[in-house]
Amino acid sequence: MTYGEILFRTAASFVALLVLTRLLGKKQVGQLTFFNYVTGITLGSTTAEVIVNNHITLLQGISSLVLWSLLAFMIAIMGLRSVRTREFLDGQPTILIKQGMILEKALAKQHLNIDDLSMLLRNKDVFSPEEVEFAILEPDGKLSVLKKEELLPATKKDMNANVTPVQRIPTELVVDGQIVEKNLIKVDVSAAWLNQQLKKAGIHSLDEVFYAELQLDGSLYIDKYQDSVR
């Protein structure tokens, strides 16, 4: 393979990879899940092979990149349209600490030890599980931490507020226009209550709701389809 051929294959692969990453979107670029991470690694290694391996024609290499990207794109579309598919591909968040208590079974299920957990907490400027109300391991492997209310930074609204223990975390009740039945049971509310709250907000059909979440204070956060942003 001549120097000129390598330059041409490099330029062609660069353009192809640029177009394909734009197709896959920011979620792939951000590597939000392990699947996204593996897809990104595969695209990168395949591109490198196309550039330097003279046993692979440029057409074969580009075709491989396009096919892999199309498969990843199809999987992403399936995840958008199906909650179950999304849960299967991306996994679900896992609660590791609840009200200051470490959940050992959840920790073991995620193949983490106490040293791993301590490191993840320190990355969030937390040096003791006792400070934590909830710690949740996200599908991308990062830890989200909600500190106990008395340890949260005070705001103007909090200056005269009484400290009350957190009984639950914000919980999604509607996703993609569908009620999450298991979460209704978890937070002990009924579908009738949910529909009543939606009607109070001027919503008469679940088809209008993209996402609804029960807040810490018992109120309902609602995000409708096709919100207008000014």
Residue 21: predicted pLDDT:
72
pLDDT digits (tens, 9 = 90+) for 77-93: 887 777 777 777 777 88
Give Cα 19 to chain centroid, integer Å.
Answer: 24
Residues of the chain with pLDDT under 50: 228-230
Residue 160: predicted pLDDT:
65
Domains of the chain: 3-88 (no CATH), 92-158 (3.30.240.20), 171-224 (3.30.240.20)
pLDDT digits (tens, 9 = 90+) for 108-134: 888 888 888 989 999 998 888 888 999
pTM metric for this prediction: 0.57
Would you tell me the crossing angle of helices 34-52 and 3-24 to the nearest 10 degrees?
160
Residue 144: predicted pLDDT:
92
